[in-house]
């Protein structure tokens, strides 16, 4: 096994409030990119919807949401300083944002930008949680099904500097299918951003479970697919609405090798040994040798749970 090392960083963000401008947010991202570079990073993961507050918590017309919180071009003048700094430092990054596509369709999107400041990959969120109707008697909404279309690009793997990256977003991390489809395309690192409310508006869930289910999802899938997982949260209290932190970098062993301690802007960085994943993919999770898709048909053929097979 060659010992391939990747300087991998996660840049967690503290709150972005309704009154925070894109330019002020980008200054924060640039500062974290510089810190990550100084600590050896070659790839930096920023959160989901990193440029704005988590606006799906608010009810408004789609047209208002798109005018206030979506990007019709990427890069654009407000975000350009981040692309310029990445190119200057020779660092790649993952960035989550609300995308107005050329055809006008709205997506919850992330991009992979390479060390030359070029967009080398794009993913549009497939597992959209929440609802599209206005819920009453809840402290906030979760309107991702109202403001975003289901992603139309599938789960793809993008190569940058000889490393194979998979990308997903937030709720995608809770679904094993996400990682398996990426690992079947030989992903070595799965990057994702998230905005996870601490409070469950659907039932009275103990708040500690928000963090434990977040971590279980990342650790189990890192191990079961032999991939590194880098997860960047936007967290803390955005205009009084709290979201969990616990941004982490997880090894293919399933172990958390770096974790944030605060609910503010915070960089964590590791020298990821990519050959570690190769060991697991050669042996325990050697897909070609051990998987039996002929017995997995239900996973593709059925959407919801149904009757036992005859
Ligand atoms: N947020 C949450 C997430 O998947 C959620 C929504 C939390 C769904 C907990 C189910 C359970 O982390 C986003 N933005 O997907």
Q: Does residue 40 have a pLDDT over 80?
A: yes
How far is residue 228 from each of residues 46, 185, 234, 248, 273, measured CA to CA in Å? Answer: 16, 14, 20, 11, 9
* Pairwise CA distance, residues 20 & 46, whole Å: 17
What is the average per-residue pLDDT within 228-233?
Answer: 99
Q: To the nearest whole number, what is the mean pLDDT of the chain?
A: 98
Q: Does residue 62 have a pLDDT over 90?
A: yes
Dihedral sign computed on CA atoms, order 170, 174, 179, 182: negative
Ligand 1: does its nearest atom lie under 6 Å from the Cβ of 148? no
Q: What share of the chain in percent tops pLDDT 90?
A: 99
The two tokens of residue 201 are 């508006």
State the alpha helices, DSSP H only, in 121-256: 144-147, 176-183, 208-225
Q: Is residue 172 part of a domain?
A: yes
Q: Does residue 1 have a pLDDT over 90?
A: no
Q: Is residue 309 part of a domain?
A: no
The protein residue with its alpha carbon nearest to ligand 1, atom 12, reads 196
Ligand 1: does its nearest atom lie under 6 Å from the Cβ of 108? no
The two tokens of residue 74 are 């990427």
Q: What is the pLDDT of residues 253-296, one digit of tens each?
A: 999 999 999 999 999 999 999 999 999 999 999 999 999 999 99
Task: Annotate 244-278 with DSSP letters as a single string.
Answer: ----EEE-TTS-EEEE--SSSSEEEEEEEETHHHH
CATH code of 121's domain: 3.60.110.10
Sort residue 254 into left (φ over 0), alpha (ψ -120 to 50) or beta.
left
Residue 170 catalytic?
yes
Q: Does residue 32 have a pLDDT over 80?
A: yes
Q: Is residue 306 part of a domain?
A: no
Q: Does residue 90 have a pLDDT over 70?
A: yes
What is the average per-residue pLDDT within 4-10?
Answer: 98
∠ CA 78-81-86, nearest 5°, is 140
Question: Residue 13: CA atoms inside 13 Å, Cβ hemisphere, count?
Answer: 31
Q: How far is CA 80 from the centre of its chain?
A: 21
Q: How many CB atoms lie within 10 A of CB 265?
A: 19
pLDDT band at 3 (very low <50, low <70, confident <90, very high): confident
* Pairwise CA distance, residues 40 & 49, whole Å: 25
* Count: domains in the chain: 1
Ligand 1: does its nearest atom lie under 6 Å from the Cβ of 181? no
Q: What is the pLDDT of residues 118-162, one digit of tens each?
A: 999 999 999 999 999 999 999 999 999 999 999 999 999 999 999
Q: Is residue 196 part of a domain?
A: yes
- Residues 37, 125, 146, 234: which is the catalytic one? 125
- What pLDDT sits at residue 2? 64
pLDDT band at 24 (very low <50, low <70, confident <90, very high): very high
Residue 48 catalytic?
yes
What residue numbers bound the domain in which 218 lies? 5-301
DSSP character for 71? B
Nearest-atom index, ligand 1, CA of 125 = 15
Ligand 1: does its nearest atom lie under 6 Å from the Cβ of 196? yes
Q: Is residue 142 part of a domain?
A: yes
* Pairwise CA distance, residues 241 & 258, whole Å: 26
Q: Is residue 99 part of a domain?
A: yes
Q: Is residue 134 part of a domain?
A: yes
Q: Is residue 307 part of a domain?
A: no
Contact 44, 32 (CB under 8 A): yes
How far is residue 256 from each of residues 5, 6, 163, 230, 263, measured CA to CA in Å? Answer: 17, 16, 21, 10, 18
Q: What is the pLDDT of residues 157-188, one digit of tens each?
A: 999 999 999 999 999 999 999 999 999 999 99
What is the average per-residue pLDDT within 47-75?
Answer: 98
What is the average per-residue pLDDT within 5-24?
Answer: 98
């Amino acid at each position: 096994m060659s010992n391939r090392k990747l300087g991998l960083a996660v840049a967690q963000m503290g709150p972005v409030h309704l009154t925070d401008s894109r330019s002020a947010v980008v200054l924060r991202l640039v500062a974290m990119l510089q810190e990550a570079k100084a600590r050896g990073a070659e790839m930096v993961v920023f959160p989901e919807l990193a440029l704005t507050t988590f606006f799906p918590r608010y009810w408004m017309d789609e047209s208002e949401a798109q005018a206030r919180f979506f990007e019709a071009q990427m890069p654009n003048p407000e975000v350009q300083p981040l692309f310029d700094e990445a190119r200057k430092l020779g660092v790649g990054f993952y960035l989550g944002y609300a995308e107005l596509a050329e055809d006008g369709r709205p997506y919850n999107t992330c991009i992979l930008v390479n060390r030359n400041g070029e967009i080398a990959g794009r993913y549009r969120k497939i597992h959209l949680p929440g609802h599209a109707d206005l819920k009453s008697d809840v402290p906030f909404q979760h309107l991702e099904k109202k403001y975003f279309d289901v992603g139309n690009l599938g789960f793809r793997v993008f190569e940058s500097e000889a490393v194979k990256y998979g990308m997903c977003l937030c709720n995608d991390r809770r679904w094993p299918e996400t990682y398996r489809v990426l690992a079947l395309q030989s992903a070595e690192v799965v990057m994702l951003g998230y905005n996870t409310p601490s409070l469950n508006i659907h039932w009275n869930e103990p708040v500690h479970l928000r963090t434990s289910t977040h971590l279980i999802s990342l650790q189990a899938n890192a191990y079961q697919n032999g991939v590194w997982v880098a997860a960047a949260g936007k967290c803390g209290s955005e205009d009084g609405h709290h979201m969990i932190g616990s941004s982490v970098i997880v090894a293919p062993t399933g172990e958390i090798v770096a974790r944030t301690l605060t609910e503010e802007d915070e960089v964590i960085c590791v020298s990821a040994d990519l050959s570690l994943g190769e060991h697991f993919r050669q042996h325990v999770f050697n897909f070609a040798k051990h998987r039996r898709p002929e017995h997995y048909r239900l996973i593709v053929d059925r959407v919801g749970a149904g009757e036992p097979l005859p």
